Structures are given as C-alpha cells and as structure tokens.
C-alpha cells in the first residue's frame, strides 16, 4: 500500500449489505480506494488505527428485520469514535434524519443520508465499485481551488449534465468560488476531473445540507461524453 493511499472503512452489522469479502480482508474498487469492512465499532477503530490513509467511514446505521428498523450501534460509542478520529469524514445511513444527532462541532464532517432500500443501498454499492449497478447519487470528492493546499471534501452530485450539476454537501461554498471535482464514470475507467464555478445556492430537503449549482466550463468533447454517462432520466431522480 502506498503512503498517500486514501482508504475507507465500511461499518455495518450485516456484511452482505456492502457485499464485501470476510471482515478485515480488503478489496480495491474502481476509485482505487481500499475498502475495509468492519462489523463492530471496536473493529472499525482497530482498522483506522492500523491501516494508513483511512479518510472515510461509511456507517450502515440501522438493522432491518421483520419488526422494522432500529439503531445498529450505540450512539455514544459512535460519538467517541468520531471524537477520537477528528480528521475523518463519516457518512451515516440512517432510517430517518435526526436519529443520530451529534454535537454541532462535529457536523461539518458528517453526512446523514436517510436509508432507502431501492436508492441508497444502490448508491452505497455504487460507491464501493461493484459493477453493473445503477445508482441514485454519486459521491464526489471536491476541493476549493482558492486554497494554497486544497483539502479534499466530499458531497453528492445530483442532476448531472455536461453543462453543470447540483452538488449536495454540508460544506458552505460561496457564489463565484472555483472548485475542482473528481468523480468516476459508471462504466469504469479513470476518474473524471473537472473544474467549475459555484453559480447558485438552493435549499436541500435533507437536514444540514445545501445544494450548490456548479457550472462546468472549458470541457473537451471527450469529457462531455464521459460526464453524459452520469446523466439519469428524470424518472430516476
């Protein structure tokens, strides 16, 4: 493993939700990100401590059975994990927004996504690179181009088209700000890296997030074709 690798931990009580190999065995997705499945908070903590380059933790926050859904992990233990690793980003897949409220100081690096069997499960599997999947949202890494040493930030792209996209994120952006975005085509291949300008801000129905309109410019025909692979019919949005 190279020193600058960026890796993820997939935390869930059901290993088949992420469809990984047995716990503690890693696999490489099409983002070239190693993903390490964990089935307990303690196991996730151990992986983060021992594996270099972990930047993202995806938590399947609920269990599902005949009686409905309930929290999969103790919230206090999750809070301690978040506080212990202040440089990590977390995505919580939850049954409803607000079910895992955390201290306000931590919300800037935490994304809550309401669980939905049909859309969110497909998005999650799309993220870890299982082929021949459809998806609802695509996780995008982006950065502020104005910073001398840009930090990697995360958000979800929706309504993608060659002219631009809506970026849903908890990070506050400014109108006119230049950003760089990196996402991967559904049919595989190299990441598509583009630059854009924030042209508008809209409210999001999901608590703690905003949607920013990003105008993409100066795209080559090849890049436009690559981005068109992300476009979904309106019936699927």
State which CATH number among 3.30.200, 2.30.30, 3.50.50, 3.40.50 fits the domain covering 7-127.
Answer: 3.40.50
Domain over 138-236 is classified CATH 2.40.10.220: yes
Mean pLDDT by 10 residues, the chain (237 residues): 58 56 40 68 87 79 56 75 83 55 50 47 39 46 80 69 74 88 61 84 73 80 67 41
Residue 168 pLDDT: 79
Nearest Cα to Cα of residue 11 among 42, 49, 51? 42
First to last CA, the chain: 37
* CA of residue 236 relative to chain centroid, distance: 19
As annotated, the residues of the chain forming the CATH 3.40.50 domain(s) are 7-127
As annotated, the residues of the chain forming the CATH 2.40.10.220 domain(s) are 138-236
- Within 83-174, strands assigned E span 89-94, 110-114, 138-144, 153-161, 164-169
Whether the full predicted model's pTM is greater than 0.75, yes or no, is: no
Residue 188 pLDDT: 52
């Amino acid at each position: 493993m190279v020193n600058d690798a960026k890796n993820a931990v997939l935390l869930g009580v059901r290993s088949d939700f992420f469809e990984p190999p047995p716990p503690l065995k890693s696999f490489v997705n099409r983002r070239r990100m190693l993903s390490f499945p964990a089935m307990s908070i303690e196991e996730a903590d151990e992986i983060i401590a021992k594996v270099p380059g972990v930047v993202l933790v995806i938590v399947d926050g609920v269990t599902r059975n005949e009686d409905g859904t309930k929290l999969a992990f103790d919230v206090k233990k999750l809070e301690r994990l978040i506080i212990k690793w202040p440089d990590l980003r977390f995505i919580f897949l939850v049954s409803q927004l607000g079910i895992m409220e955390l201290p306000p100081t931590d919300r800037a690096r935490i994304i809550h996504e309401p669980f939905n069997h049909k859309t969110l499960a497909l998005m999650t599997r799309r993220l870890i690179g299982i082929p021949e999947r459809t998806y609802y949202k695509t996780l995008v890494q982006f950065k502020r181009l104005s910073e001398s040493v840009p930090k990697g930030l995360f958000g979800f792209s929706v309504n993608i088209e060659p002219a631009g996209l809506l970026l849903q994120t908890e990070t506050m952006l400014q109108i006119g700000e230049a950003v760089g975005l990196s996402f991967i085509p559904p049919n595989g291949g190299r990441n598509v890296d583009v630059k854009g300008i924030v042209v508008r801000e809209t409210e999001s129905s999901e608590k703690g997030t905003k949607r920013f309109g990003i105008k993409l410019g100066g795209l080559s025909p090849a890049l436009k074709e690559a981005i068109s692979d992300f476009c979904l019919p309106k019936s699927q949005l």
